[in-house]
């Protein structure tokens, strides 16, 4: 039996000789097909491994109420401070101290700049001294004459009256002697003159005594009162001038510009290019910002006072702020054919800065009332009027008809049906028919 097994073998040469030409051709074709299958499978595996990963979302209908109000106009402009202040000085002087820098936040009443004040202090002291002098004079006049002055005036009057009595007696004696021809006419005349002089002196001292007793006249007192008021006004003026050397923040805000340095001169009059400065700092309240827009006259009719809109910036496109029209210019710009509109930002934050680029999407106050459901997709899913739809691991480029924009994105009027999956943010090189790896949004 072992011998029989050794004798059993396949004669390959003889078998090949026995195959017909048709069988040989069939075997070659099968080998070629197997090779092509292996090649295609390897190519497909390579493509699958190199497929781009994309984020997809399933399209679902949205009710008109959920879609929100429709945007009726988009406009671009710049953020500005509603109230920007160039803080200047009321007095001239050299800067002695400055306590803020650009970007600092200040509170209302905070000291920002101090000017040199030696001259203003000296002027104030001079005015105070003059006021004290006038006030003392007024008090003297209101107090009237002292008792000693009145007594002196009365004594002088009594002395003059005594002299008058003596002159009267001498005059009577001279008249009798002159009648008897004892004295000459000249002696009588001299006695008469002495009497008259004594009478005049009594009259003068009597009036003087009355004036001393009554005190100064009301007109004199009023005149001194006027001088006192004038001196008080001068003191108040120089006190104000001295206080104005300390420059304070009129409102709370942020320093946008620091215009002076220590040692520079600040003036209130003409300002030269390289001379004295007309203001010290520029500040604004960054919690009161607005967007300044130039609206084309052809679009102006879509807007109205208190119209609301969404504000976005180029710097932070993912942050959106509520705004409303605060001011519409009463006149148009003839050269640009625009009307200036200012949109107040209702709740600004620290990300917003004056002079930033900003966009405002004005929307209608009335919500959409269409009966049929709406299909809304993100705005960045639509590229050149088309979207990429995911189908069996590949993307198909499909043209769509878009409507207005809403808070959720762009309305699709035609081209998509509910349940389809679309690429949310297509890569730049994505083409129709590319194989992709999907990741749910």
In Å, how far are 58, 260, 261 from 278, measured between CA atoms? 63, 9, 13
pTM of the predicted model, to two decimals?
0.55
**Local confidence band at 27 (pLDDT 50, 70, 90 cut-offs):** low
Q: How large is the average pLDDT for residues 140-164?
A: 82
The predicted structure's pLDDT at residue 274: 63
**Would you state the structure tokens that stand for residue 241, as one six-digit string?**
């001038």
| Domain residue extents for the chain | 52-68+369-440, 71-83+285-363, 84-116+245-284, 123-238
Query: CB count, 10 Å around CB of 102?
Result: 11
| CB neighbour list of residue 208: distance below 8 Å, 6 or more residues apart | 153, 156, 157
Read off the pLDDT of residues 318-374 as tens digits, 9 standing for 90 and up.
888 999 999 999 999 999 999 999 999 999 998 999 999 999 999 876 544 444 567
Read off the pLDDT of residues 128-138 as tens digits, 9 standing for 90 and up.
999 999 999 88
The CATH number of 84-116+245-284, from 2.60.40.10, 3.40.50.300, 3.30.300.30, 2.40.50.100, is 2.40.50.100
Pairing of strands 84-87, 61-62: unpaired
Distance separating alpha carbons of residues 425 and 53, to the nearest angstrom: 11
421 and 396 Cβ atoms separated by less than 8 Å: no
In our burial notation (b when 16+ CB lie closer than 10 A, e otherwise), range 263-294 reads eeebbeeeeeeeebbbbbbbbbebbebbbebb
Taking the alpha carbons of 38, 40, 42, 44 in that order, is the dihedral positive or negative?
A: negative
Per DSSP, the three-state class of 365 is coil
Q: How large is the average pLDDT for residues 80-104?
A: 93
Q: Is the pLDDT of residue 19 over 70?
A: no
Query: Which residues make beta-bridge pairs with 422?
Result: 57, 389
Q: Is the pLDDT of residue 17 over 60?
A: no
Query: Mean pLDDT over all residues of the chain?
Result: 82
Name the strand (E) or helix (H) holding 226: helix 218-243
Question: Residue 170's Cα: distance from chain center in Å?
Answer: 98
Of 81, 87, 90, 91, nearest to 100 by C-alpha is 87
% of the chain residues with pLDDT over 90: 42
Read off the pLDDT of residues 58-76 as tens digits, 9 standing for 90 and up.
887 765 555 556 788 999 9
Read off the pLDDT of residues 380-420 as tens digits, 9 standing for 90 and up.
889 888 999 988 889 899 999 887 777 678 888 888 887 88
DSSP state, residue 297? T
**Residue in the block written with tokens 């299909």:** 375
> Which fold would CATH assign to domain 52-68+369-440?
2.40.420
Name the strand (E) or helix (H) holding 307: none
Question: Residue 144's Cα: distance from chain center in Å?
Answer: 61
Q: How many residues does the chain have?
A: 441
Residue 290 or residue 174, greater confidence:
290
Distance separating alpha carbons of residues 351 and 79, to the nearest angstrom: 12
CATH number, span 71-83+285-363: 2.40.30.170
Read off the pLDDT of residues 306-322 as tens digits, 9 standing for 90 and up.
999 999 999 988 888 99
Q: How large is the average pLDDT for residues 272-279?
A: 73
The predicted structure's pLDDT at residue 63: 56
**Local confidence band at 12 (pLDDT 50, 70, 90 cut-offs):** very low
Q: Is the pLDDT of residue 197 over 60?
A: yes
Read off the pLDDT of residues 28-52 as tens digits, 9 standing for 90 and up.
555 554 444 444 444 344 344 457 8
**Local confidence band at 428 (pLDDT 50, 70, 90 cut-offs):** confident
């Amino acid at each position: 039996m072992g011998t029989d097994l050794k004798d059993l073998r396949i004669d390959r040469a003889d078998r090949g000789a026995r195959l017909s030409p048709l069988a040989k051709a069939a075997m070659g074709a099968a080998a070629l097909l197997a090779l092509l299958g292996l090649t295609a499978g390897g190519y497909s595996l390579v493509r699958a491994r190199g497929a781009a990963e994309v984020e997809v979302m399933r399209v679902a209908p949205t009710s008109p109420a959920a879609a929100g109000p429709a945007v009726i106009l988009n406009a671009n402009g710049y953020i500005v401070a509603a109230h920007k202040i160039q803080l200047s000085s009321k007095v001239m002087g050299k800067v002695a101290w400055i306590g803020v820098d650009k970007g600092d936040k200040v509170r209302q009443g905070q000291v920002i700049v101090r000017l040199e004040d030696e001259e203003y202090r000296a002027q104030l002291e001079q005015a105070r001294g003059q006021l004290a002098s006038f006030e003392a004079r007024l008090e003297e006049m209101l107090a009237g004459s002292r008792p000693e002055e009145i007594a002196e005036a009365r004594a002088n009057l009594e002395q003059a009256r005594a002299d008058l009595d003596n002159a009267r007696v001498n005059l009577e004696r001279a008249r009798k002697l002159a009648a008897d021809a004892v004295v000459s006419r000249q002696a009588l005349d001299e006695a008469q003159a002495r009497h008259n002089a004594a009478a005049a002196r009594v009259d003068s001292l009597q009036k003087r005594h009355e004036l001393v007793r009554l005190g100064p006249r009301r007109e004199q007192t009023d005149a001194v009162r006027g001088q006192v008021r004038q001196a008080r006004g001068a003191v108040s003026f120089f006190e104000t001038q001295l206080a104005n050397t300390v420059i304070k923040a009129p409102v709370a805000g942020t320093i946008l510009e620091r215009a002076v340095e220590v040692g520079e001169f600040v003036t209130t009059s003409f300002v030269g290019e390289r001379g004295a400065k007309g203001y010290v700092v520029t500040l604004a309240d960054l919690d009161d910002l607005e967007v300044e827009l130039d609206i084309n006259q052809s679009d102006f009719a879509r807007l109205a006072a208190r119209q609301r809109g969404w504000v976005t910036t180029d710097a932070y496109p993912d942050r959106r702020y509520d705004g409303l029209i605060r001011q519409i210019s009463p006149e148009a710009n003839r050269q640009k054919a625009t009307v200036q509109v200012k949109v107040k930002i209702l709740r600004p934050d620290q990300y917003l800065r004056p002079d930033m680029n900003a966009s405002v999407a004005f929307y209608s106050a009335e919500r959409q009332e269409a009966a049929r459901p709406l299909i809304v997709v993100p705005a960045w899913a639509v590229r050149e009027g088309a979207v990429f739809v995911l189908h069996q691991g590949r993307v198909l480029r499909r043209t769509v008809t878009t409507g207005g924009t809403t808070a959720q994105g762009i309305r699709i009027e035609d081209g998509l049906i509910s349940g389809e999956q679309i690429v949310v943010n297509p890569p730049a090189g994505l083409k129709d028919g590319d194989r992709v790896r999907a990741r749910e949004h």
